[in-house]
Amino acid sequence: MARKIKNNVIVVTGASGNLGKAICKQFAKSGSLIAALDINSIALIKLKKDLGKEDIEIYTIECDITDKNACQTARNKIYNKWGRIDGLVNNAGITHIERFIKMDKRIEITRKVMEINFFGAVNCTEAFLNDIHKNKGLIVSISSVAGFAPLLGRTAYSASKHALHGFFESLYSEVKEEGIHCLMVCPSFIQAPREIDISPEKNSFYRNKKTIGKNISPDRIAKDIVSCCKKNKPFLVSGKTGIISYFLYRFFPKVYLNTMINKLKRDV
């Protein structure tokens, strides 16, 4: 049975980012009401302005998803505005590119990545789950190829994405019969925004990264996400490179590992 998302209130974390913006836009075009969460208040202002040019109205909330109280406050604001919450897209996240042996262990990079990518998603889910349960809504979690296969120089990032799979796939087994839909999304490499700063002094999130295969547009991924939500599909690997990686690692893991290392080893 097709899922209706028109007039649903959908919460999107990391909304001002490249993929977050596309997700907001595609759900809005399907008739959903959008609550856009992001830690960057200035970026939220730009997001609201940019989407407004396309006649898309969103409700923006500055929120640090690593803070449980902030997530609950965001939930209360959204509920007070619309009186319901139907869906959550756990999109917020950061990456880090560096061999683990070279990491400065004093600054706890792995812990920081886990706090945002994994525990941030858990915090948001805790805050919104009762509302989603009440309305038999949906939870979307943005993972990666790194969520089901290793990636060189992404130990912290890959660990956080593997954790998402363990948590949300298990959660789905608990709530599926109660009408809640959970979708795990594994995009391949996403096109960077044109205005991104790739100066060498920036951290790894802003570096011009070595990728495998062609990048996939955020709009394409967002359209796939909305389509899968409507069809109640639990798993999405978006992009040709992602699909090839999924089956190659599943059935020929040694071939995948050697190919991936050769493609990425000069990047780290």
Structural contact between residues 92 and 20, judged by C-beta atoms closer than 8 angstroms: yes
> Residue 207, Cα to own-chain centre: how many angstroms?
19
Sheet holding 33-38, edge to edge: 58-62, 33-38, 9-12, 87-90, 138-142, 181-187, 235-238
Q: Quick one: how many helices (H) and strands (E) in the chain?
A: 9, 7
pLDDT of 177-208, one tens digit each? Answer: 999 999 999 998 665 554 433 333 333 333 34
pLDDT of 225-265, one tens digit each? Answer: 999 999 999 999 988 899 999 999 999 999 999 999 999 99
| pLDDT computed for residue 189 by the predictor | 67
pLDDT of 69-86, one tens digit each? Answer: 999 999 999 999 999 999
Contacts of 247 (CB under 8 A, 6+ apart): none
| pLDDT computed for residue 190 by the predictor | 63
Q: What is the DSSP letter of 205?
A: G
- 248: number of Cβ within 10 Å: 17
Taking every pair of Cα atoms in the chain, the longest distance, rounded to a whole number of angstroms, is: 53
pLDDT of 1-57, one tens digit each? Answer: 789 999 999 999 999 999 999 999 999 999 999 999 999 999 999 999 999 999 999
| In the block, residue with structure tokens 């295969």 | 213
Distance (Å, rounded) from C-alpha 68 to C-alpha 74?
10
pLDDT of 95-113, one tens digit each? Answer: 999 999 999 999 999 999 9
What DSSP letter does each residue of 125-180 carry, written as one string? HHHHHHHHHHTT-EEEEE--GGGTS--TT-HHHHHHHHHHHHHHHHHHHHHGGGT-
The identity of residue 197, as a single letter, is: D
Residue 117 has pLDDT above 50, yes or no: yes
What DSSP letter does each residue of 233-258 carry, written as one string? -SEEEESHHHHHHHHHHHH-HHHHHH
Q: Where are the domains of the chain?
A: 9-267
Out of 3.40.50.720, 3.40.50.1110, 3.90.700.10, 3.30.360.10, the CATH code matching 9-267 is 3.40.50.720
Residue 218 has pLDDT above 90, yes or no: yes
Distance (Å, rounded) from C-alpha 13 to C-alpha 63?
9
